[in-house]
Amino acid sequence: MAYFNIADATFSQSISTQGTNPRGIAWNNDGSKLYEIGAGSIYEYDVSTAYDISTASYSQSISTQDTAPAGMTWNNDGSKLYEIGVGSDKIYEYNLSTAYDISTASYSQSISTQDTSPTGMTWNNDGSKLYEIGVGSYKIYEYDVSTAYDISTASYSQSISTQDANPTGMTWNNDGSKLYEVGAVSDKIYEYDVSTAYDISTASYSQSISTQDAISTGIAWNDDGSKLYEVDYSSDKIYEYNVAPSMALFTVTIDNTKIGSTLTNYPLFIDLSDMPASFWSTVANGGGDIRVYASDGTTELAREVVTCDTATDTGELYIKVPSVSSSVDTVIKIDVDGARSDYAVSATYGRDNTWTQYEAVYHMQEDPSGTAPQMIDSTGNGYDLTTSGSMTSGDLITGTIGKAIDFDGSDDEMVSSINHGLLTGSTSDNLWVSCIVDGFAQSGTDRWVSFAAYTGLFSFSSTSFGIQSNGDNSGDNVASRVDTGTHHIFALFDAGTEYRGWMDGTQVFQKTITDTESSASPITVGDGYGAGAGTNVNATLDEVRVSGNNLGADWANTQYSNQNSPSTFYTATAISPASSPTIQGISTLTGVSSITF
């Protein structure tokens, strides 16, 4: 939840009301109509710019049922209107033939209130709970409603005491996690945190702000909590506030004992399911609002949000950390506000700049049967892959990190549309390849990731893998055991110097060579480009990465530790809740079993 925080509200503008001594306000469902109630009437305004009161023009009014109406609200579609009145201590229900058009309202029924001087009312999000607030006992009352939005089926269930000695109105945020009260004695708007949505017994007072005028009698929000409104009885005005998005702040601390030597521009993997609950209550679905900083909190860092699903509280984030120390813990900071848009992929702090150590990076998150190119290169270097063979959407499966691709060992492969420039025939060439392999079943000399027909990361038996160049399958490959489980594979071709390989963070082969290689073929995943039949890999591949740098043993070990057990590689901690309120006072709420201030 990014908005709905009264501490972030700043007054912006006001308008005069149509009637004198207004007692309440309400909006329709899209901000095109505004309503006020008071002095025996309900007034309707047309609003040309949604939720902007400066564009409101009075259109019509109807008389109320109560001689002293004190508040109003709607059901979820504008087919029912409700009024609460202190003259008869009742709640009144109207049916409307045209949604939100008060001229079509016809009175249908009423019920008596719990309070002897009710001043406001509201509903929960589905009409199963009704609430009233009153000055007779200074309480908020909750009703269970067996037929949604039908007041005749409401039965009183519980109450809590208010913060103000003269409470005049109330409302909820959009998910029932926050309750608001306005009062005329202290001229304040009060905010409560509610641990069980819409259950007032779980409400704990958190903060308050002063109102604009002397006798505020009603409050309302716009649809997303970015605007707050109050109406004042003494000045006959409606006030509008702009509400800045709340921000939740977090630290991620990398355990230095997991780092062999200091690494530069390391792309840290964050499993977002490790983030605290306040991250998920604030972040926008998709994670475009995620921003990352160095430990100073001001030096922004590039990041890629691969996924961020607020329905499941899961996601995949990568952060380019300029320096990861092996001697002291490295701290980075993350903030989310639920509102900001994602960076363009080529922006300074966007996706592409997260991967400056790499030539190509494939998260294997895309549907292989989708529109070509299906697999996107996160470096922005253009090595996007187009699938071929009999690949279907069913080949996109759950992987070690997010999703992965299941290769069938028959004809499944992926090829870039452009050639790489990694192998030029020079002894200065480096080729670094890494991937996560699961369920490997070798069917020949299988090509996992290749850079020509006979150059790349291959398997050479049902239990081995190696890196090959120059087509010399007898002397240039070296092997290590691979079984059908999940393994993190790293291989280096350092032209004219050595082959080296690591599996699950441990070096498993090293061989001195004199070879160089010259190849300008596409990058191919799942086969060797132009290698012919019988070389397609039968395995699941995830997180395929290609670099022209010799990243080294410590990089391989660090990447394995980070990917294999992210929750022990770092610690994620909330350093600020989604708001940082200044508490205005402490009091006890009657009927609340546990209050935390």
Instruction: Please give the residue that has the higher pLDDT: either 491 or 460.
Output: 491
Least-confidence region, from 183-187, 458-462, 588-592: 588-592
Give residue 480's pLDDT band: very low, low, confident or very high (50, 70, 90).
low
- 16-53 pLDDT per residue, tens: 999 999 999 999 999 999 999 999 999 999 999 999 99
Give residue 583's pLDDT band: very low, low, confident or very high (50, 70, 90).
very low
Residue 342 in this model has a pLDDT that exceeds 70: yes
Please give the structure tokens belonging to residue 19. 């009637």
SS3 assignment, position 182: strand
Residue 478 in this model has a pLDDT that exceeds 70: no
pLDDT at 195: 92
pLDDT at 111: 98
Give residue 75's pLDDT band: very low, low, confident or very high (50, 70, 90).
very high
Least-confidence region, from 61-70, 204-213, 244-253, 528-537: 528-537
pLDDT at 597: 17
Instruction: Please give the residue that has the higher pLDDT: either 206 or 470.
Output: 206
pLDDT at 90: 98
- The average pLDDT across 490-511 equals 90
pLDDT at 320: 98
Q: Which residue has the tokens 């607030």?
A: 133
pLDDT at 78: 98
Residue 581 in this model has a pLDDT that exceeds 50: no
Cα dihedral 342/347/350/354 (nearest 10) = 180
Buried b (16+ CB within 10 A) or exposed e, 385-400: bbbebebeeebbeebb
Cα–Cα distance measured from residue 541 to residue 557, given in angstroms and rounded to the nearest whole number: 19
Give residue 479's pLDDT band: very low, low, confident or very high (50, 70, 90).
low
Residue 457 in this model has a pLDDT that exceeds 70: yes
Percent of the chain whose predicted confidence (pLDDT) is above 90: 75
Residue-range domains of the chain with CATH? 6-243 (2.130.10.10), 248-355+569-576 (no CATH), 360-550 (2.60.120.200)
Q: Within its chain, how far is the Cα of 368 from the centroid?
A: 25
Mean pLDDT, the chain, whole residue set: 91
pLDDT at 595: 19
pLDDT at 318: 98
Enumerate long-range contacts of 507-512, CB under 8 Å, 24 or more apart: 507/553, 507/556, 508/480, 508/481, 509/466, 509/478, 509/479, 509/480, 510/478, 511/476, 511/478
Please give the structure tokens belonging to residue 267. 């792309």
Q: Closest Cα partner for 326 from 506, 558, 504?
A: 558
Q: Closest Cα partner for 190 from 247, 228, 142, 235?
A: 228
pLDDT at 168: 96
Helices and strands (H and E) in the chain: how many: 3, 44
pLDDT at 477: 55
Please give the structure tokens belonging to residue 351. 């996706």
Instruction: Please give the residue that has the higher pLDDT: either 98 or 463.
Output: 98
pLDDT at 475: 42
CB 437 within 8 A of CB 487: yes
Residue 590 in this model has a pLDDT that exceeds 60: no
- 356-406 pLDDT per residue, tens: 999 999 999 999 999 999 999 999 999 999 999 999 999 999 999 999 999
Under DSSP, the state recorded for 160 is: E
Residue 587 in this model has a pLDDT that exceeds 80: no
Beta-sheet pairing, 423-424 with 538-547: unpaired
Cα–Cα distance measured from residue 34 to residue 18, given in angstroms and rounded to the nearest whole number: 11
Residue 319 in this model has a pLDDT that exceeds 90: yes
- 521-561 pLDDT per residue, tens: 999 999 987 766 678 899 999 999 999 999 999 999 999 99
pLDDT at 37: 97
pLDDT at 140: 98
Residue 171 in this model has a pLDDT that exceeds 80: yes
Cα–Cα distance measured from residue 224 to residue 581, given in angstroms and rounded to the nearest whole number: 20
pLDDT at 591: 29
- The average pLDDT across 479-499 equals 85
- 88-139 pLDDT per residue, tens: 999 999 999 999 999 999 999 999 999 999 999 999 999 999 999 999 999 9
